[in-house]
Structure 1
Amino acid sequence: MDSYRPSRRAFLGGSLAVLGGGAYLFGRSDGSTDGPTSVGSSGGNSSDGISPTFHSSEQTSGLGVDLQGKPLMGSPDAPIDLYYWTDFQCPFCARFERETLPEIVRKQVEPGNVRVVFIWLPYFGEDSMTAAVAAACVWRRVRDDSPGTYWDWQTAVFEEQGEKNSGWASEESLLEIARSVSGVDADALETCLQNRRDELEAEIDADVEQASSYDVTATPTFGIFDRESKTWGKLVGAQPYARFEEAIRRVDDAEGE
């Protein structure tokens, strides 16, 4: 039975109910469980005709996640955080990005109700990590002057998704993708991948370890968090929009209990 509880400790202990859907579990080779520092608008290649705003932050969230270095979509003052753990090689993440995320943006993010926190969680091997590091490089490059360009980058990468570890997410392929995205400097990305990979991998590894402590064992996984009441809900998999709408409603309702 679905449940939501106003307890951060409960979430960290893994006691909240998980709503299943298309997801990849860690350690498996097939999937089957049914104060901001900058704000800006997206560039011209946004997915499905939407142009969400992005911002960066140097704060630590109510969950305990260090937001520095992570893309944040939506209003800094949105009452609900939607934590989104994702892998660029995960086909269920691609399905979510294609089928559900645009509707979440239109109905929850753009009205100011939800802020999305993107957390890279690579586990399919070297190419997954390379894609995560590349995303971190791109975000650091664009976050001050044109943070919305990150949306164009992420959309482009998921559109090019191929078979896992087939080379589509290799450094060479990602640089080709970068050359196709307006506002992304492929030369700067190449330099970042060469010079900062160890540093950024360490940050991503820390996020992976933290995710495990939150009982996040699949991608995509979502934590739905009321920033005032600390009420939590968790969804797993490429859920339809209606499941997110219900989860957000339950978190809102639980605040007054």
Structure 2
Amino acid sequence: MRPSINTPFWGASACQLWASWPIGRCGYDLAMIIIKNALGIGAVVLSVGLVVLLLSGSFSGKPTASDSFTPVAPVYTPDAEFISGRGIGAVGAPVTLEVWTDFQCPICGIWANGSEPLLYEKYIKEGKLRIEQKFFAFLGEESFTSAVGAVCADKQDKFWAYHSYLYANQDGENEGAFSAPRLRILAEAAGLDLTAWDSCIADPAIRTEVEAESAAARAAGVAGTPTLKIGTWMQAGIPAEADIYKRIDDALKP
């Protein structure tokens, strides 16, 4: 099982869209982050054995997650008063941060479980920032079906509960962590009406919506996740802590 990381890792590279190798790149980036953070240095020399150990799950290509499991509780879920649709923070907040993510992307998990809660406490609860979530489902079928489920969760005003449960229960890319049965268990844990959710995810229009949103992201220049955007500034990956704070603070200036 992939290590659970609930503390913020600033300055992380994004899961990249590679024409020749779209699957597994996230596993490589996560391995680098774990090792660099553990050793406390900026440049790391990796042994082949250690890389293979950390990345073995990413390249297996075989579903390994059990369809019977008890979900891990979310690291955090925003308070209802700050939620509107796929956004958290006041609709009229002076700064809007757009974030493109893929539910299977482990760097997105680091963002959602570690970095985002800090922005929530520092800016969102103070009425200074709104974060809007957008999909770029590119890592495989489980990315796509997870996003479809999220659209349907949003229709029940449960997007953020679903979002938080999925990021708390990541376990590799395209290895069954977000299989249909497991997504249903996660949807139930998030408090969704499963009858309505089942009907929604079977609707071809919802799938078309996710496809269109991912295509629009690519057309807008998104090539990895997470990608962050404030005004004209856009960056793939998680910025250094001081950098993202400065971006927000500068945008708050009159």
Which range moves more in the overlay, 204-213 or 235-244?
Answer: 235-244
- Measured against aligned partners, the alpha-carbon deviations of 1:61-112 in whole angstroms (never above 9, x if no partner) come to xxxxxxxxxx111101101111010000000000011110000111111111
1:216 aligns with 2:222: yes
The answer as to whether partners of 2:96 and 2:130 remain within 8 angstroms in 1 is yes
The answer as to whether partners of 2:103 and 2:143 remain within 8 angstroms in 1 is yes
Q: Report deviation, 1:240.
A: 4.6
Q: Report deviation, 1:166.
A: 0.8
1:167 aligns with 2:182: no
Q: TM-score, normalised by structure 1?
A: 0.70
1:74 aligns with 2:83: no
Which of 102, 120, 142 pairs up with 2:117? 102
Gapped runs of 5+ residues in structure 2? 1-9, 34-72
The answer as to whether partners of 1:87 and 1:121 remain within 8 angstroms in 2 is yes
1:51 aligns with 2:57: no
Q: Report deviation, 1:48.
A: 3.9
1:248 aligns with 2:248: yes
Which of 202, 207, 225 pairs up with 1:201? 207
More strand by share: 1
- Measured against aligned partners, the alpha-carbon deviations of 1:25-54 in whole angstroms (never above 9, x if no partner) come to 1133314499xxxxxxxxxx7644752611
- Measured against aligned partners, the alpha-carbon deviations of 1:198-246 in whole angstroms (never above 9, x if no partner) come to 2112222222222122211110001112xxxxxx212321335433111
- 1:244 is matched by which residue type in structure 2? I
The answer as to whether partners of 1:100 and 1:239 remain within 8 angstroms in 2 is no
- Measured against aligned partners, the alpha-carbon deviations of 1:145-173 in whole angstroms (never above 9, x if no partner) come to xxxx4322211111111111111111111
Which of 153, 164, 172 pairs up with 2:162? 153
Structure 2 Cα separation of the partners of residues 163 and 172 of structure 1: 16
Structure 1 Cα separation of the partners of residues 127 and 161 of structure 2: 21
Structure 2 Cα separation of the partners of residues 124 and 159 of structure 1: 18
More helix by share: 2
Aligned to 2:194: 186
The answer as to whether partners of 1:21 and 1:236 remain within 8 angstroms in 2 is no
Q: TM-score, normalised by structure 2?
A: 0.70
Deviating above 4 A after TM superposition, structure 1's stretches of 4 or more consecutive aligned residues are none
Structure 2 Cα separation of the partners of residues 20 and 159 of structure 1: 21
> Structure 1's 25 and 242: CA in aligned 2 closer, same or farther, altered over 3 A?
same
Aligned to 1:85: 100
Aligned to 2:238: 238
Structure 2 Cα separation of the partners of residues 81 and 102 of structure 1: 16
Structure 2 Cα separation of the partners of residues 117 and 49 of structure 1: 15
- Partner of 2:172: helix, strand, or coil? coil
Gapped runs of 5+ residues in structure 1? 1-18, 35-44, 57-70, 143-148, 226-231
- 1:238 is matched by which residue type in structure 2? I
Aligned to 2:55: none
Aligned to 2:131: 116
Q: Percent identity?
A: 24
